[in-house]
Structure 1
């Protein structure tokens, strides 16, 4: 059985896979960062959802990287007192949060992505 890293190394050579991988990685990074920031502030999903004037279900979707609506995302960022910046990088637009990023997230990202490797184009 191939390890995840060796499988990824092979798959990443495919340009479509590589582009999708980068998009998924960025979405997961943002989702995990919002989740971590919420927890650092000692807020439950319900509490933050009320502060952002969104439903707890909408917040859960954002934190899980599922069907993220930009307006909802911005409301949550505002409630967390975050500044959102948009930078163009080739043909990918990337939202960056102004808070510092925890390097432990990389391991979490790889675990999340390993679950998506079986069907990367969903």
Structure 2
């Protein structure tokens, strides 16, 4: 998808012409003239179909990226019962669990009652 988008952007730049190109080595006046030429070129009817195709491909790429769902890295444990607040050694400290919202190890989950 990225290669197709790069090819469509290249075709759009070819349709715009050489006046829209500038480099950082050029002076500010030349770069500004290239920016203005770029905006004018995007408004031309000959360039508009290429711009529409690039926009369509970008939308499709973003929709594809957003539709991919990953599984959470940490397993979510159920909330402890009242008798589960002490550590196995019997020191009276509450057990630290991975928070299901933030997934930060070593930080007590907000639903764990203090000992």
Is the strand fraction higher in 1 or 2?
1
Structure richer in helix, relative to its length = 1
TM-score (norm 2): 0.25
> Which structure would you say has the larger RCO, counting Cα contacts within 8 Å and 6 or more residues apart?
1
